[in-house]
Structure 1
Amino acid sequence: MRSIPQAFQASLDSGATTLCWCWKIIRNDGVVLGFTEHDSDLYFDNLLWSAGVGLNPGIIESAIGFASNTGMATGALTQSGISADDIDRGKYDQAKIEIWRVDWQNTAQRVGIWSGEIGDITRKEHAFEAEITGQARKLNRTFGRVFSKQCDAELGDNHCTKDISSASFTFQANVSQILNVTQFSVASLNAPENDWFSAGTITWIDGQNAGQTARISQYFQSGAEDVFTLAALPVKPIAVGDAMSVAAGCNKSLDHCSGKFSNVLHFRGCPFMPGNDSLIAGPVPSR
């Protein structure tokens, strides 16, 4: 049960209140933003709560049990509030959100109403729409390991332990030609194999996507050019001359781990796990 301070309750009971709604967003990169529906900015909790920009949450539906509380939030895109560029770069993905009821004449009188996180967020030309969900949504996420024949580590992470920073696995290149929105070519990198970078990653060094990382869905060598296809649309359009760092890819098989990376001791798959055929197989008749 929510605890409401006595002075705050007295303000509610008076019938003539000076209350407003305030919303705090805590992004995963540590940036904290505050917004209010009040007609002027407020300052409390060491945070400036901006008026007239950013966020307008709608009705939040609550349910008994483990069902997740859900709602929608809309707002205008502004440079001082929630910007299109930050949304495109995923800075609001799974950001925490808190909703407060605050006395704007005495901000020490306030009560937390709801907390959750931002789910799916879509952007239009001048506005955005975001799904906001309660804490119960976390119960639908998969935690822990999933056992399969393929490795469940990411190449180069703490589980894989393989150092891919050497010149054998990481190359520098510049875009030489744009083929379509997700496909481009670079001057030949002289990779050891024709699929050396398939399932690898690209980290953009400069250009509009500087600092962003993208997954490579397809790679092949074509004469004096190497052609890359990204698994998803880039945040911003790719341009000729954009510099990037390209890391080799791993298909997560035992053969790749052993032959390509010599890292079989850290392979985290179960290659000899029985498959569905073993589950439905019947007895073999003797001869």
Structure 2
Amino acid sequence: MSFSEYETSLQNGRPIRLYQFQRGPIKWGYTNADRNISHQNIVFRAIEGGISDDGIRQTEDSTADLLTLTVPASMDVAQMFRTVAPGQTVSVTIFDLHYGDNGYLVVWMGLISGVRFKNEISAEIQCQTLAASLERTGLRKTWSRICPHQLYDDACKAPRNTFKSVGLIDRLDAVSIGFANAAAHSDPYYSGGYIEWTSQYGLEQRGIELHQSDLLTIYGGTYGLSIGQEISVYAGCDRLFNTCQTKFNNSINYGGSPHMPGKSPFDGTPVF
């Protein structure tokens, strides 16, 4: 029987749902069935406490089509969001199929937008559709004196590895870390940059709020870091033309308009 025949059958259907989470190259698979299910070379595990959703909705307003998954609080995917959201997005793909049949249907795709721990036993994973992310309003590149590019991206083109320093954390508290190599550059060389390391869940990144001597204040705190851990630290940018020219030698790719006139087109000046 085909998938559609199982779906319309009054007695032969044995529906199960598979939930695939992916962060970079790492994938996790879970199922609402009472046993493990192999699908597309992934073993979707049946977990104690189970996994369920509040129903797939497809309305005209994609931002209202939030999907909530109820899962055990101890599940790996939920634990990634326990204290600080991971540095990479986690995608969600849901498959519907019937036990014993090779046919299947991809019924939902999106991203995790947040996790709420209801208690010590269960958690709720809020998932947003891909369509909702495409409907966000606002312009990313604006006409301004400062550069709108994301540091080291394809528009900025600054060579990331040229401004990279690798070393060990020699001390830390809840908000900052000691990084001896940072003292080789004057303040605030690393402000606006970020640190990077590999955790059990994959690549992690966290922004640097302030650089003072060998001390780096980290956005989101130091959860997940430890003394003696190796990290990579990347120089920051204040998005000004002089910094782009003198620090990064990258003024040809500067995205701002440093010579923009100081008058506003909305102040009544006739020249506009």
Q: TM-score, normalised by structure 2?
A: 0.77
| Match in the other structure for 1:176 | 170
| Match in the other structure for 2:208 | 216
| Match in the other structure for 1:245 | 232
Alignment counterpart, residue 193 of structure 2, candidates 179, 189, 200: 200
Deviates more, 1:187-196 or 1:264-273: 187-196
Cα distance in 2 between the residues matched to 1:28 and 1:209: 8
Instruction: Map residues 33-44 of structure 1 onto 2, 5 A cutoff.
Output: 33-44=28-39
Cα distance in 1 between the residues matched to 2:134 and 2:95: 21
Instruction: Map residues 158-177 of structure 1 onto 2, 5 A cutoff.
Output: 158-166=154-162, 169-177=163-171
Cα distance in 1 between the residues matched to 2:26 and 2:203: 17
1:232 aligns with 2:226: no
Contact 1:22–1:49 (8 Å) recurs in 2? no
Judging changes above 3 Å, is the alpha-carbon distance between structure 1 residues 267 and 24 closer, same or farther for their aligned structure 2 residues? same
Tell me the number of residue pairs that the alignment of Structure 1 and Structure 2 aligns.
265
Contact 2:78–2:123 (8 Å) recurs in 1? no
Alignment counterpart, residue 124 of structure 2, candidates 129, 136, 139: 129
Other structure's SS at 2:55 match: strand
Tell me the amino acid that sits aligned with residue 195 of structure 1. Answer: P
Cα distance in 1 between the residues matched to 2:85 and 2:194: 17
Task: State the identity as a percent.
Answer: 20
CA RMSD of aligned residues (A): 3.6
**Structure 1 position 218, deviation (Å):** 0.6
Q: TM-score, normalised by structure 1?
A: 0.74
Other structure's SS at 1:27 match: strand
Contact 1:155–1:162 (8 Å) recurs in 2? yes
Alignment counterpart, residue 256 of structure 2, candidates 261, 269, 272: 269
Contact 1:8–1:109 (8 Å) recurs in 2? no
Contact 2:110–2:128 (8 Å) recurs in 1? yes
Cα distance in 1 between the residues matched to 2:56 and 2:217: 41
**Structure 1 position 121, deviation (Å):** 2.3
Cα distance in 1 between the residues matched to 2:50 and 2:110: 15
Unaligned runs of 5+ residues in structure 2 are none
Unaligned runs of 5+ residues in structure 1 are none
**Structure of larger gyration radius:** 1
